[in-house]
Structure 1
Amino acid sequence: MLNKFPLWKNLLIILILLMGAIYALPNLYGEDLAIQISGTRGVTLAESDLSRIQEVVAPLCGDKCRIEHENGQALIRFQDNNLRLSVKDKLSRELGDKYIVALNLAAATPDWLRGIGAHPLKLGLDLRGGLHFLMEVDMDEAMKKIIGQTVQDFRTELRNEKIRLTGAQAAGSDILIFFKDSATMDQALQLLKSKHGDMVFQGDEKADGRFVITAQVKPEKLKEIRTYAVEQNINIIRNRVNELGVAEPLVQRQGAERIVVELPGVEDSARAKEILGATATLEFRLVDQSAGIEGAAKGEVSANSEVIMSKDDQPVVVAKRVILTGDHIIDARSGMDENSRPEVNISLDSKGGQIMSDFTRDHIGDPMATNFIEYKAIDQDDSQPAGEGENRPRFRKTQQIINVATIQARLGTKFRITGLDSPQEAHNLALLLRAGALIAPIQIVEERNIGPSLGQQNIINGMNAMLWGMGILFVFMIFYYRAFGLVANMALLMNFVLIVGLMSLIPGATMTLPGIAGIVLTIGMAVDANVLIYERIREEIRNGRGVQQSVNLGYERAFVTIADSNITSFFVALILFLVGTGSVKGFALVLMVGLASSMFTAVTACRAVVNAFVGGRNIKKLWI
């Protein structure tokens, strides 16, 4: 029978529309004022931590706030912003530096919706407000670190080939390697040239009679180092913010040495800067057992060693020579060993595995320390006169031994750290290692705080533009196509609901102001599909065909044109999504979702409604 869908197809259409409406529903509930509490360095909050938080909050809050525990973090919801601010200040004082207390906004979605995975749309910085940071990578420190590691590599390579050197040191971006005689220097020169094609080597005799090789990094290698430093830091910053769960960030490169970080919904800039500005790295060093406890406490150690305090405030004497840095770690997982003791399993890249293997071969039974380093930015002193290099970031370096473990066997690309006090400590160490080591310190050079009121105004303006556009379309469609225009308007509403529902379901999808423009554009294209169908039906009626046949042919023959236009537009949007960044990518995603949704609503859902009123009936005249 013409213009009749089978029952299963009608039920499927209803089910799809119902699911779209359910998953779009959380967007109607808005957001609650909230405080988010998490442990520093990604520590998961335990039940004892929640009890402590409850003790601090209860006297101020009473029953005016609600504490939730989810994903290892605590979330406190408020109705009063003044109460929230006072509770936040007290929590910051009482909990200390082991916790991150940040102001945030939390979705007010009911539990039954969250239980089925329904969440509101994630809004971008321009709609929700939040924090924008521009960060600069300290390339001088990056070069210093890489040159220092290269000096160690040269020492190891020459010693492995039994070539004796009297010393090696960094001189700016150059490396100087000293020898006693010219024959040894020539032998070393030949070896280094064969292994390091990205460097220029030159041998010479000094006035003091020593022979020296000067190694310089080629310009193209310098450019590669700078690019790697920024890209490495981008990946690590993204991992750390995700692990901490502060927000769903936008992290991308800007220019040669800068990184843009956007945290939608985050209001506490001080805490956000603390998380992002705590530039950290890791290194493994051998523990110097020759120094006694008293000597370590007094700092009386050899010239090749130094004293670093442990996390328990105990002095640990370690060799100055760094075995391996954290940028060679590609994975770290906590677990239990064969004796049910906590451990951390480490995976290194191939170069790091070779370095670790060569070192541990000769140091089985010796203790090895994991040193945690932070570079914290120092504010420029306005009283000091500005001089050359004053605009460069300045950092204070802090170190802490977070673990000392015994080397039990020759290690390679995979090894484990044991001797940890608890599974929680193993988890925290694995988190720290897995987050990676920044290859160079970074400094926040620009900060912008976009208030929620500005974001709300953008939403209002975008919604007004969409409502005005839809209103004009509604009036036109009803005036021009009468009853069929009403059906088209129903399709537009269904299309809008489906877009919101699908965007809420897509992981990582963020709605921005350009995304709202994408919805407006999609609605216009959806109307275009209905216009094509209705004009085709009119044409068939003018050709003398019956109502049932005209409706059937109108939908069937217009479908090819609609499919062609939507498919070509979809591929254009897909290209924009693949090559675009930021707001362009967001616009393209909304456009792709809208095109798919409009094909369904304009062709399938809309026809189901038409079939319900037209199909199987003896209609002489069609009001279209």
Structure 2
Amino acid sequence: MQNKGLIRTFAILLALVCAYQLTFTFVARKVEKDAREYAKGDEMKELVYLDSVSGTTVYNFLGLKKYSYKDVKALEMNLGLDLKGGMNVTLEVSVADLIKSLSNYSTDTTFNAALALAKEKQRNSQDDFVTLFGQAFEQVDPNAQLAAIFNTLELKDKVKYNSTNAEVMRVIREETDAAIDNAFQIIRSRIDRFGVAQPNIQKLQTPGRILVELPGIDNPERVRKLLQGTAKLEFWETYDNSEVYSVLMQINEKVKEVQSLSGEQTAAAATTESAETTAATADTTANSLLSEMESSGDTAAVDQMTNFKKQYPLFAVMQPSTTQDGQLYPGPVVGTAHFKDTATIDSYLALPQVKSVIPRNLKFMWTSKAIDDAGNYFRLIAIKVTGRDGRAPLDGDVIVDARQDYEQFGSRPEVSMTMNSEGSKTWARLTKDNVGKSIAIVLDGYVRSFPNVNGEITGGRSSITGLESVEEAKDLANILKSGKMPAPAHIIQEEIVGPSLGQEAINSGLWSFAIAFILVLAYMLFFYSKKAGLAANIALLANLFFIIGVLASIGAVLTLPGIAGIVLTIGMSVDANVLIYERIQEEIKAGKGLKLAIQDGYKNAYSAIIDGQVTTLLTGIVLYLFGSGPIKGFATTLIIGIFTSLFSAIFLTRLTFERQLSKGKNITFTSKFTDEWLRNAKIKFLEKRKIAYIISGALIVISLASIFTRGFNYGIDFKGGRTYVVRFDEDVKVAEVGKALSAVYGEAPEVKTFGGNNQVKITTEYKIDELSTEVDEEVDELMLKGLQQGGFIASDVTMAQFDSEYRMSSQKVGPTISDDIKKDALIAIGFSLLIIFLYILLRFRNWQFGLGALIALAHDTIITLGFFSLLHGLLPFSLEIDQAFIAAILTVVGYSINDTVVVFDRIREYFQIHPKRSNEVNMNEAMNSTLRRTFSTSLSTFVVILAIFLFGGTSIQGFTFALLIGVGVGTYSSIFVATPIVYDTYKQVEKAKVKKAVK
């Protein structure tokens, strides 16, 4: 093998990169373990400990780079919601509301009829709402002019009375795109302040949709309110630091008095419960730091720190805005604090005793953006309240336009904004009264910017300068621009997984993983002897290490289907080793020496390996493009696994054999028990093809009959609705649970046993068309009420307890998104079949092979669907047709085509070697020669999936059941369907040629 040194170097470098990336996960786990040991079951102490080390070095990589706990936490292996618990929501920005706002809420009948029609069209269309609105407006009245509706005061510079409908639609699209971009930025900033570790926020392919994943969240009501609230933009006057410093000193004195009178905990107890927690946290953090000083023996530092904390409790957690020699900095910034101390300062400011010394026209707000790269330190701004009602003197509704620009005599970014006439007057007064001071631009209660006023600004046009980057200027322009357009975001899909279910998923996933992996390793040792089997097992172990390392390196999320994908990849990666070993044995049987046999065995196996893996890769790519959430995680691991499997099976095993050969060692590729197994089979498969056609035909007819009569058990992915998995303290009867819930919902939900008899899956379509936060909360509260009235849950259980102790998971899918999921699923299946057909056609240069593969795949898909139609409701686990099932179907397609391609590849080879033999003889011998490979691959893959099915947990049993059926049917079809179809089509072509020649 050439380039051995290069391959060895690449393998070592890849292993080092994977090991380095995985160290972050191990370090994070160690710190969290130390925190648990320190807290001894006290969750608050555990949080305090982790807060205290968030900014300190916990990992020093070879003395080259230092990482804090916050850094390693951000770089550790991401676990999906099904493994960690948390919340996953898909938000949709209400473009209809945006268009209404742009029209200044026009009452025009044509306009409102077009909006209503566009909403109807959206249910069954893949087009974005702006396109649908344009089509609907044209449909309602082809002669109507959009300019008459959108020539508003705010859009007068963009829409003229004589503007064409196409020109107005272009403006509408630009404005709505900007508002959607801003909604994304607002949601991101809200999530960043929410304090979730490793949140995932991304725009989806459909315009206006945003995916938000929040691991570890246990308060869904708070998240819903946070994400669905409309942004509030305000402009406030500010005080100078020098005007407020004396007030800060008074605040410090009041906090000191409160703490000295009642102890340090009293300050927190006098405020809200959350303030109590954060204040206690800060005090405990400070105390833990003191303990560290004491343990180090630095008693002088301990005394100094203790005395300072008593004398200046406020300044112990907030650095005042002063120079090193005590001079006050100019501007509205009065202090800077670490993010973990901001809540403590808020609790101090909320004390009744402190409020008494703060003037009524003064309030404090935090900046939304940290001042350091690590994102730890935030500024406190002094806001001047001038109105009697406590409202801002100017809000975002007055902004007509805002854009990122550059200063007139330089390249520094700035924001140019334009206000309406009412806003222009107020803005002129504000700027005139505050020359030399700052105006705070506040979004959702946090200061985004506080530019300095250089002079009175009239006419409503002004610029904001002093910005650090173009990105900051663009974000600020989007925020300012959103002030004139309300852009509410509605939750159209939601999934909640409880932490206990997540832990169970990890345990069951690891068990299934371990069992499957051990079975595969044992089988390779048994079937291919000690040395060859050991080489394959080393490659499999390396493959596993590479998959996990690459997943961690690219920041991919590991989900339960992802674990299934890893295990399936390992099971299928055996195929490459089997193909190589079987080829080597054939070369040895042909009389070649061991070294030449290994060389030719690898060379002759490449074609089948690459064809099989490429077809599986194509299905993985389709899954990744059309899937979401866990399905995308499954596709990611499958795609990575294909590449690492090829590298491990082809190169690492070859390096192992080359090393053994260089030492003169003998290598055997079969054991005495399996040497002759299926070696010289002479089965005449094609003679039995008509029997196979009858069996397949009968199965297809039964499947289609069941599909059209019994139908499917569609999951909410495809029909919309809400599902809840609820676990009770004792066994329950589903009929009684359904009766109790129908009393509160007014309609009977679907209730099924899910796992044990004490766990049920509840599905309801109650108010699924309504998108408000209040409706989501109402459905949850009614469920708890119904279960309590039915006696299944104690009457004193609160909603928070229900969420944490009884609700294992829940999911909501709106009707609009369920239609989109259904269409994406059909497109994914159709597209994958098409590209596989085209690939086979290109590789084998023969349409008969492509047709045979396509019919076999359709055969496998229909029969798998038929099983799910026939057996749903009869088996003790869910057989729902959902996104996971579509992933299973596409995986079956990938596996089946892999199996078929190996047979086709051998047939093509026999056609080239024996061109004068009949097609029947060549095809039969080709199928017989691949039987050992088919047996080994199918058995190992089937056993792997069986282990996942038995031990992988309730949530993926339907998924793995589909894979079990698919592997069995796919193995059968590659021999008894695909090849016979190729044979018969060849015969028909030859007959046609003979007839043509006779004529």
TM range (shorter): 0.5 to 0.7
1:193 is aligned to: 161
Farther off after superposition, 605-614 or 532-541: 605-614
How much has 1:530 moved relative to structure 2? 0.1
2:442 is aligned to: 372
Given that 1:78 and 1:84 are in contact with CA atoms closer than 8 Å, whether structure 2 keeps it comes out as: no
Q: 1:433 aligned to 471, 476, 483, which one? A: 476
How much has 1:126 moved relative to structure 2? 1.1
The 1:227–1:12 alpha-carbon spacing in structure 2 relative to 1, beyond 3 Å, is closer
Q: Give matches, 1:46-195, under 5 Å.
A: 79-80=38-39, 82-85=41-44, 110-112=59-61, 115=66, 119-133=75-89, 142=98, 145-148=101-104, 192-195=160-163
2:12 is aligned to: 14
How much has 1:365 moved relative to structure 2? 11
Q: Which has a greater percent of helix?
A: 2
Q: Give matches, 1:35-46, under 5 Å.
A: none
How much has 1:261 moved relative to structure 2? 2.9
SS in 2 for 1:454: helix
2:548 is aligned to: 500
How much has 1:371 moved relative to structure 2? 5.1
Amino acid at match of 2:574: V
Given that 1:344 and 1:430 are in contact with CA atoms closer than 8 Å, whether structure 2 keeps it comes out as: no
Between the aligned partners of 1:592 and 1:243, the Cα distance in structure 2 is 35
Amino acid at match of 1:197: N
The 1:406–1:530 alpha-carbon spacing in structure 2 relative to 1, beyond 3 Å, is same
The 1:331–1:272 alpha-carbon spacing in structure 2 relative to 1, beyond 3 Å, is farther
SS in 1 for 2:42: helix
Q: Is it true that 1:324 corresponds to 2:371 in the alignment?
A: no
2:291 is aligned to: none
Deviations 1:503-522 (A, max 9, x none): 11114x21112211221221
Deviations 1:164-186 (A, max 9, x none): xxxxxxxxx968999xxxxxxxx
SS in 1 for 2:103: helix
Q: Give matches, 1:71-470, under 5 Å.
A: 79-80=38-39, 82-85=41-44, 110-112=59-61, 115=66, 119-133=75-89, 142=98, 145-148=101-104, 192-195=160-163, 197=165, 233-234=183-184, 236-238=186-188, 240-241=190-191, 246=196, 247-251=198-202, 261-267=212-218, 272=223, 276=227, 279-282=230-233, 311-315=383-387, 324=399, 328-329=402-403, 345-347=413-415, 367=432, 372=442, 374=444, 405-406=453-454, 415-417=463-465, 433=476, 436=479, 439-442=486-489, 449-470=496-517
Between the aligned partners of 2:522 and 2:216, the Cα distance in structure 1 is 37
Q: Give aligned-pair identity as a percent.
A: 26
Amino acid at match of 2:87: L
Given that 1:285 and 1:321 are in contact with CA atoms closer than 8 Å, whether structure 2 keeps it comes out as: no
Q: 2:520 aligned to 458, 463, 473, which one? A: 473
2:731 is aligned to: none
How much has 1:9 moved relative to structure 2? 4.3
Between the aligned partners of 2:474 and 2:204, the Cα distance in structure 1 is 24
1:573 is aligned to: 620
Between the aligned partners of 2:94 and 2:40, the Cα distance in structure 1 is 39
How much has 1:241 moved relative to structure 2? 3.0
How much has 1:102 moved relative to structure 2? 10
Deviations 1:413-470 (A, max 9, x none): 994336x9xx9xx999979727846642446799765332211211222222222222
Q: Give matches, 1:551-562, under 5 Å.
A: 551-562=598-609
How much has 1:611 moved relative to structure 2? 1.6
SS in 2 for 1:31: helix
Between the aligned partners of 1:400 and 1:597, the Cα distance in structure 2 is 46
Given that 1:32 and 1:79 are in contact with CA atoms closer than 8 Å, whether structure 2 keeps it comes out as: no
How much has 1:499 moved relative to structure 2? 0.5
2:835 is aligned to: none
The TM-score with structure 1 as length reference comes to 0.57
Q: Which has a greater percent of strand?
A: 1
* Contiguous gaps of at least 5 residues in structure 1: 35-63, 66-76, 92-100, 152-172, 179-187, 200-216, 288-296, 299-308, 376-397
How much has 1:623 moved relative to structure 2? 5.2
How much has 1:493 moved relative to structure 2? 0.8
1:206 is aligned to: none
Between the aligned partners of 2:459 and 2:566, the Cα distance in structure 1 is 56
Given that 1:284 and 1:371 are in contact with CA atoms closer than 8 Å, whether structure 2 keeps it comes out as: yes
The TM-score with structure 2 as length reference comes to 0.38
Given that 1:5 and 1:611 are in contact with CA atoms closer than 8 Å, whether structure 2 keeps it comes out as: no
Structure with higher RCO (Cα < 8 A, 6+ apart): 1
Given that 1:530 and 1:602 are in contact with CA atoms closer than 8 Å, whether structure 2 keeps it comes out as: yes
Q: Is it true that 1:587 corresponds to 2:543 in the alignment?
A: no
Amino acid at match of 1:600: F
1:31 is aligned to: 29
1:518 is aligned to: 565
Between the aligned partners of 2:55 and 2:505, the Cα distance in structure 1 is 20
Given that 1:104 and 1:265 are in contact with CA atoms closer than 8 Å, whether structure 2 keeps it comes out as: no
SS in 2 for 1:372: strand
Given that 1:282 and 1:370 are in contact with CA atoms closer than 8 Å, whether structure 2 keeps it comes out as: no
SS in 2 for 1:594: helix
The 1:197–1:417 alpha-carbon spacing in structure 2 relative to 1, beyond 3 Å, is same
The 1:434–1:597 alpha-carbon spacing in structure 2 relative to 1, beyond 3 Å, is farther
How much has 1:533 moved relative to structure 2? 0.3
Deviations 1:28-65 (A, max 9, x none): 5663787xxxxxxxxxxxxxxxxxxxxxxxxxxxxx86
Given that 1:344 and 1:429 are in contact with CA atoms closer than 8 Å, whether structure 2 keeps it comes out as: no
Amino acid at match of 1:372: V
How much has 1:355 moved relative to structure 2? 9.2
Deviations 1:395-427 (A, max 9, x none): xxx999966734689999994336x9xx9xx99
SS in 2 for 1:545: coil
Given that 2:85 and 2:498 are in contact with CA atoms closer than 8 Å, whether structure 1 keeps it comes out as: yes
